[in-house]
Amino acid sequence: MERIKGIAVSPGIVVGRAFLVGTAEQVVPHRTIAESEVEGQVVRLREALDDAGRQIVELRERTRFELGEEPAKIFEFHAGLLRDRALVSAIQRRIENGRATAELAVAEQFRVLVGQFKRMGNEVFEQKANDVLDLERRVLDSLMGEQEDRLAHLPEGSVIVAHELTPSQAAALDRQKVVGILTDLGGRTGHTSIVARAMGMPSVVGCQRLVGLIEDGDELIVDGNEGVVILRPDPRTLDDYRRRQERSRRSRQALMELSGLESVTRDGVRIQLMGNIEFPEEIGAVLANGGDGVGLYRTEFMWLTRDEPPTEEDHYRAYVRALELLGGRPLTIRTCDLGADKYTQERMEDPERNPFLGLRSIRHSLAVPSEFKAQLRAILRASAHGPVKTMFPLVSNLMELRQGKLMLADLGEELEDEGIPFDRQMPVGVMIEVPSAALMSRTFAAESAFFSIGTNDLVQYTLAVDRGNERVAHLYQPAHPAVVYLVKTVVRAARGAPIDCSLCGEMAGDPVFSMLLLGMGLRTLSMVPDQIPVIKRVIRSVTMEQCERLARRVGSFDSERQVETALRDELRKLDPDVFGQWVAE
């Protein structure tokens, strides 16, 4: 018997037999074609893209019918990428100018896009790379005539085990035969994880070394509550997990009942729960999970699939689409947060040695005013179609805020002269993501309409820890007293102004921190859509007096271990069955 720890992404406990699935990547031969073959290769490309598009539409409709609207929305991204003119044109140019086969051109351009996603320094974008690989595999399958015969012959009670599983592979699984999913790679917010949750299939990802330890047919226990896999369990362990299965079933049922209920504490305090998105199509998931709107619209994707920066019209169409889908609910747009990534570094004559401390986020936008103005004009124009807020990322000094606001004011005057409608009272705020901004939050509050605390970067910059560096990742501790102090400082400054203050980092979607954040005074939290129900469960289980008492107690601690232990203990008291995966040490 062996126990492997991974990341719990879809709750539940099952016992099944391992079914190994190979990698989604194909080996594409490198071959240069003659000029006479170019036209034929372009035709093959277009046919393959059309074929892949038809498959995606069929899969989307099947997923919508079987699993619902939220997981079906995932494939809007796939369909949109196939229609992206910048990406398709780049592939065609590689065939025409580089004399590459259609297969090679597709593989190269899709891998460029995957690399850009993975170098964004953002977990969400890294996981989007898996969607791109999924689509690449589908297009190459069409070009190379490959089929997934193995998945078509699954025995009943199968647990899918893979180094990496794409969302379309997951959505196509036969739920009458598959009882669980395990992968070496992946994270909580990846689309494969979302599909697994929608299928109600216990799943654990990020197992790292599982594929090398398992053979087809091995008996497995999948604990999707605690993120544990047990290989070849003994009878005593099997009996123990049968009992856990029943407790898990009851807790899942309790969470499913919350999506349509209000997010309000036991003593009547209303808390806004918002969603973080990258694409307008994800708004369906926000609303399906009971979200009140979008608290963070990341806009960087619009730069990543094209050779040229997005135009004002590109921005405008995306923002108006988001407002249409929200149906009058609020939309908060973060201006471009590029920098510290391959996209920007490749475009510099002299790449930065330490880009995470370089021309990043608002600094990058102010250094490229033509692109920044195109985005700001589009945001202003979109504000005529619904409630929009704008916020500037990674602001570290007051001058950056003032420059951004001045640019917005100038563009507003331009629109007025042109007779183009926009919201003249559109709120403009800042993201508090660096210690300097947090410590100067009183000053910033005097010139901002609202704050949004971005704890992912705030933790990283406060503790001088790159969470992507596995050598020091253990030092990345949101519960560190210094981080808690800075969050409390920002909330107090906002309250004193008074202006609205939200929190949109990973802390917002972690129920371990919910009571602390409410106790410090936060009334708006923004998170990945599928995290909304569990946070709502915490909120509906507590009073503000409980939360404030916990916040006062935690404020006296001098170590992250003390803070985290206290928070887990309080969460455990609420319901150890429902919150078991978060309170497990």
- The identity of residue 119, as a single letter, is R
Identify the CA nearest to 304 among candidates 465, 80, 499. Answer: 80
Phi, psi of 8 (to 5 degrees): -75, 120
CA–centroid distance for 571 within its chain? 24
Which residues lie closer than 8 Å to 158 by C-beta, 6 or more apart? Answer: 16, 17, 18, 19, 177, 178, 179
Hey, is 153 helix, strand or coil? coil
Cα–Cα nearest to 530, from 294, 329, 297, 289: 289
CA–CA gap between residue 450 and residue 393 (Å, rounded): 13
Angle at 280 between CA 190 and CA 112, to 5 degrees: 55
- Annotate 352-378 with b (16+ C-beta within 10 A) or e (fewer): eeebeebbbbbbbbbebeebbbbbbbb
Helical segments of 336-397, H only: 342-346, 362-367, 369-382
At residue 429, what is the residue type? G
Instruction: Write down the catalytic residue from 336, 501, 504, 547.
Output: 504
Query: How many residues are listed for the chain in this entry?
Result: 585
Residue with tokens 């992206």: 84
Residues 192, 225, 282: CA angle, nearest 5 degrees: 35
Our answer to whether residue 547 is catalytic in this structure is no
Considering only CA atoms, which of 210, 226, 234 is closest in space to residue 159?
210
Question: Using an 8 Å Cβ cutoff, are 35 and 95 in contact?
Answer: no
Output phi, psi for 34, to 5 deg: -80, 160
483-488 LR contacts (CB < 8 Å, sep 24+): 483/455, 483/458, 483/459, 484/516, 484/520, 484/554, 484/555, 484/563, 485/555, 486/435, 486/438, 486/439, 486/458, 486/462, 487/438, 487/453, 487/455, 487/458, 487/517, 487/520, 488/520, 488/551, 488/555
Three-state SS annotation for 8-63: EEECCEEEEEEEEECCCCCCCCCCECCHHHHHHHHHHHHHHHHHHHHHHHHHHHHH
d(CA 373, CA 311): 10
- Which DSSP string do the residues of 189-249 spell out, in sequence order? TSHHHHHHHHTT--EEE--SSSGGG--TT-EEEEETTTTEEEES--HHHHHHHHHHHHHHH
30 classed as catalytic: no
Instruction: Kindly state the helix (H) or strand (E) to which residue 490 belongs, with its residue range.
Output: helix 481-496
**Catalytic hit among 78, 191, 315, 480:** 191
CA separation (Å) from 185 to 126, 181, 191, 193, 211?
A: 11, 12, 13, 11, 10
Q: Is the dihedral of CA 139, 144, 149, 150 positive or negative?
A: negative
Residue among 64, 108, 115 nearest 342 (CA): 115
Q: Which residues are catalytic?
A: 191, 504
